[in-house]
């Protein structure tokens, strides 16, 4: 993964697309630093991830804590379980119950 200059801000997180929450948090910090250097507010950049596996969905809170602002769920036509789990996680967060996922 590259950590180049301001013309590549969008590529910073988009290069590989996925990573564990710790790595994504680190890269979000690098992106925030570059935003400060070019006078751009970090909240202006949507930070998203595509979760396709139940194990990834189980770490949804960690992904959110790493600085991501948009979590997308997807699954194949034969296994909707990852999307079901992500919807349950979202609904639990909306209702205030953080035990689901």
- Per residue in 14-51, pLDDT (tens digit) is 545 568 899 999 988 988 998 898 888 888 888 888 88
Q: How many residues does the structure list for the chain?
A: 101
Taking the C-alpha atoms of residue 76 and residue 64, their distance in angstroms, rounded to an integer, is 23
pTM above 0.85, yes or no: no
Taking the C-alpha atoms of residue 83 and residue 76, their distance in angstroms, rounded to an integer, is 10
Q: State the pLDDT at residue 8.
A: 56
Closest CA relative to residue 73, chosen from 62, 64, 84: 84
> Percentage of the chain with pLDDT > 70?
77
Go through 70-93 and write b for each residue having 16 or more CB atoms within 10 A of its CB, e for each that does not: ebebebeeeeeebbebbeebeeee
């Amino acid at each position: 993964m590259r950590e180049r200059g301001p013309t590549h801000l969008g590529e910073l997180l988009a290069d590989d697309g996925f990573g564990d929450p710790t790595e994504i948090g680190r890269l979000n910090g690098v992106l925030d630093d570059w935003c400060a250097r070019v006078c751009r507010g970090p909240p202006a950049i949507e930070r998203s991830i595509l979760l396709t596996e139940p194990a990834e969905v189980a770490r949804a809170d960690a992904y959110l804590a790493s600085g991501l602002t948009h979590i997308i769920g997807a699954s194949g036509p034969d296994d909707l379980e990852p999307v079901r789990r992500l919807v349950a996680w979202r609904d639990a967060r909306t209702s205030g119950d953080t035990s689901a996922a």
